[in-house]
């Protein structure tokens, strides 16, 4: 499935049989040239505290606490499988999030943003801002987003000592004349630019609104050509966008792929 171009391998793992600890297997399946390819694996698992549990594993085998686009895809899958109602609670490592199926859109109520750090000096021409929207994100405002070297600068920020030891995702943001945002993201764990990042788009919109560059709700244009809608009211931050199937099938554990 993909959410705004952010693509995932989703697994119905309610039987808890997926070999999550086998990093070599994950790397083979997650490889874009020799496997299926993905920005991450998402497991649908049972939960004792919510309608379902989400586990998100990067292609390198490391687990992340949350993924906004991935959670929307998981909500769509869980509803279509009859594993969750139209309005559902999802357990994640970053805390509980709520999701609602709205025809072809899924609205996600995220955990409260934390660890705000504004105006950080990281050696770039200007200051950057940081917020955790379920996973850590640094936000950089740029004038020329198209020609930005997202991979080079993103990697520098991801590994910067100020964000150690976990590192951070890096979002490069351009404020459009119509009050919308265009965003490109370097994702930690993928270690490359991705076509979209839900929690990154959320971080970008919240930072931009705090600076007064835009108002909320805000539309964020992602690199893959899809839009995400970010809003924040009464203490709730929401991320709304589509979640689409690409294909479905089966592979056997241990298969060469």
Residue 128 and residue 120 in contact, taking contact as beta carbons nearer than 8 Å: yes
Nearest to 202 by CA among 87, 76, 67: 67
The two three-digit tokens of residue 124, written as one number = 């770039």
Report CA-CA distances (Å) from 132 to 73, 75, 94, 113, 206: 21, 22, 10, 6, 11
Dihedral (Cα; 105, 106, 112, 118), 10-degree rounding: -40
Neighbouring CB atoms inside 10 A of 197's CB total 36
Rounded to 10 deg, the angle between the 198-211 and 68-81 helix axes is 130
Catalytic residue IDs: 67, 197
Across the strands, what pairs with 139? Answer: 129, 171
For residues 157 and 211, give the distance between their C-alpha atoms in angstroms, rounded to a whole number. 21
β-bridge mates for residue 229, sequence order: 219, 240
CB 232 within 8 A of CB 209: yes
DSSP string covering 196-247, please?
A: --HHHHHHHHHHHHHHTSS-SSEEEE-TTS-EEEEEEETTEEEEEEE-B---
């Amino acid at each position: 499935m993909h959410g705004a171009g952010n693509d995932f391998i989703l697994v119905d793992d309610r039987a808890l049989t997926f070999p999550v600890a086998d990093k070599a297997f994950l790397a083979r399946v997650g490889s874009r040239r020799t496997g299926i390819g993905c920005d991450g694996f998402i497991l649908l698992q049972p939960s004792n505290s919510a309608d379902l549990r989400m586990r998100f594993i990067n292609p390198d085998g490391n687990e992340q606490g949350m993924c906004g686009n991935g959670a929307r895809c998981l909500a769509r899958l869980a509803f279509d499988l009859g594993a969750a109602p139209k309005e559902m609670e999802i357990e994640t490592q970053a805390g509980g999030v709520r999701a609602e199926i709205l025809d072809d859109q899924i609205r996600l109520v995220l955990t409260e943003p934390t660890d705000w750090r504004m105006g950080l000096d990281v050696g770039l021409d200007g200051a950057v801002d940081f917020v955790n929207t379920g996973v850590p994100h640094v936000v950089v405002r740029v004038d020329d987003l198209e020609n930005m070297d997202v991979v080079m600068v993103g990697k520098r920020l991801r590994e910067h000592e100020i964000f150690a030891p976990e590192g951070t995702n890096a979002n490069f943001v351009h404020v459009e004349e119509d009050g919308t945002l265009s965003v490109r993201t370097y994702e930690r764990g993928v270690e490359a630019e991705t076509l979209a990042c839900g929690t990154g788009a959320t971080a970008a919109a919240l930072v931009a609104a705090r600076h007064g560059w835009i108002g909320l709700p805000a539309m964020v244009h992602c690199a893959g050509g899809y839009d995400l809608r970010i809003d924040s009211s009464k203490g709730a931050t929401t991320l709304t966008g589509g979640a689409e199937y690409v294909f479905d099938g089966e592979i056997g554990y241990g298969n060469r792929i």
